[in-house]
Structure 1
Amino acid sequence: MNQPFLQKDLGEHWRTVNPEVIEPYEEQFWDAVDLMDQAPAKAERIFKKIIRACGDAHMDAILHLGLLFNDRNKSIEGNALIIKAWHIAKEALPADFIIGYDQILWSHMDNRPLLRVFQAYAVELFKAKDYERAEGALDFLLRVNPADNQGIRYLMLECLLWREEYLKILKLEEEYEGDYSADFLYGKALALLQLDKTEEAISQLAIAKSAFPHVAAEFAKAVHEFPFDEFEQSYIFEGVFPLGSKQEAFHYWSKTRKFWEKDGRLETLLKMNVL
């Protein structure tokens, strides 16, 4: 078979089986991944070489060439490749795969290309503001890999905010109740507020403010500027800022302020000194 497929291992977990043709190219593939930022033209040549040799067998190379094109503002070519990789990943699912019961765990190294493809597809749907389909794609990932090693729940939370699915936000928070992040602590308060559970929202904001005071301080500012002097770029990885930092607070404010401001209660919360 010239495409990846899923089969059950001895532990009854699904594992991706990749065609043998990709094995000689794995070192070159990871070299190309490392070159994507500093030498994108060279990375592109390597990805294309691997795809010519392996075809649909190497969906990770197809995916990363698509991501590279998108980074270089070639979104038509990039999205076409991401969708192609997604079709390959989707075809890898067997007919008897039951979503919500069967799992594709990140802990199986061979599953990671497949899960990366499904994640990239969901991200592109989100970026295109197709929030309904993005929610479905993100939900699929959370069902098949509930440990969520990819951080899918954070994008899901934002997606649900756009869709005004506040009860689903509370359900998501219950599923990941150990998540002690600004997104979840403040996100739960925002959902409660939108559901007119004001007292519960204020109590939740007190918890959130105690854990992440810089977020509350950012909302209270009259002028918002990214604090470049706090941490150097080397401390920031793929848009994830140091936990509890002012940079993280600014990032949270910038992506959620529209939701906090839309019903006019932000000023009231600030006057109450709970935000």
Structure 2
Amino acid sequence: MPHMSESVLQGMFGGGSDRQFDAQELAFEAMEAMASGDYEAAAAAATRAAEIDPNCIDALHILSQLGSENKAELVENLRRTVDRAEKNFGKKFFRENEGIFWGLLETRPYMRVRAELASLLYDVGETEEAIEHVEEMLRLNPNDNQGLRYSLLGWYLELGNLKGADHLLLEYAEEGSAMFAWARVLARVLDDDLDAATAALSEARDANQYVEAYLVGRKRLPKQGPGYYSPGDESEAIVCMDAIGGAWRKHPVAKKWLKSQSTRS
């Protein structure tokens, strides 16, 4: 992450203290070091930031990552960091800023660490708790600048939560991504509405034709995902599989149906 200008940083803290300003600058340095793989420098900068400002969430986030020996420990450390941020903001802040959270720069460290916590909870099998975190984050920031809706949709479908999936599909009805298009197919198969599933399949193929080969096993996913993707491209198909591929794998009946449709196309 590039350094923010002094004016932007001052805006984050509403003209706040030099202590907060200096700590956040060090936290950004730590984030840059983490991105480049220099963990020693990241630890040093994050430690210094936390010493200057014990409530510097980005610094605490990095120290949680570096100081955890396994996923279970990291979950607990991230939970503590999220709790710290929420206490710092206070309940009134959440009430007054629901819906515009990401637009407030000072909330972004909190949103970053909570997003990682949700992802990690899913990794360790705590999908219901992961869903609760992301649902709340989307209430705080319905514009979803972090792209959390894709994982949430996959998690809903993985658990067979069609009510949650359909609500999300409706909430982002204008969403034209392959992730949503292929999720609609799965949702309608699980709903046993095969006519609607067939119609959704046609739209999904138009949205991204490459996804189907991965879903039915004609093609294997690469070991490493793309650094970026383009709509309709194979790179998007790989990202799509990361978001909702697990949901398709959880429902063999849906894969069987899709294979039957593939042989007819």
Instruction: Decide whether the 8 Å contact of 1:226 with 1:247 is kept in 2.
Output: no
Q: Which amino acid aligns with 2:248?
A: W
Bigger drift between 200-209 and 43-52 goes to 43-52
Distance 1:264 1:100 in 2: 45
Q: Equivalences for 1:149-188 in 2 at 5 Å?
A: 149-188=145-184
Against the structure 1 CA distance between its residues 103 and 247, is the aligned structure 2 distance closer, same or farther, given a 3 Å change threshold? closer
Q: Which amino acid aligns with 2:62?
A: H
**Equivalent residues, number:** 250
Task: Give unmatched runs, 5+ long, in structure 2.
Answer: 1-11
Q: Deviations over 1:66-95 (max 9, x none)?
A: 23456xx65455334312211112213434
Q: Which amino acid aligns with 2:58?
A: D
Q: Which residue of 2 aligns with 1:3?
A: none
More helix by share: 2
- Deviation for aligned residue 1:164: 1.2
SS at match of 1:264: helix
What is the percent sequence identity of the aligned residues?
A: 21
Q: Which residue of 1 aligns with 2:22?
A: 24
- Deviation for aligned residue 1:163: 2.0
Q: Which amino acid aligns with 2:198?
A: I
Task: Give unmatched runs, 5+ long, in structure 1.
Answer: 1-14
Instruction: Decide whether the 8 Å contact of 2:153 with 2:244 is kept in 1.
Output: no
TM-score, normalization by structure 2? 0.81
Instruction: Decide whether the 8 Å contact of 2:211 with 2:240 is kept in 1.
Output: yes
Q: Which residue of 1 aligns with 2:256?
A: 267
1:61 pairs, out of 42, 59, 73, with 59
1:245 pairs, out of 233, 240, 245, with 233
Distance 2:151 2:50 in 1: 30
TM-score, normalization by structure 1? 0.78
Bigger drift between 216-225 and 125-134 goes to 216-225
Against the structure 1 CA distance between its residues 16 and 82, is the aligned structure 2 distance closer, same or farther, given a 3 Å change threshold? farther
Distance 1:42 1:76 in 2: 25
Distance 2:88 2:220 in 1: 47
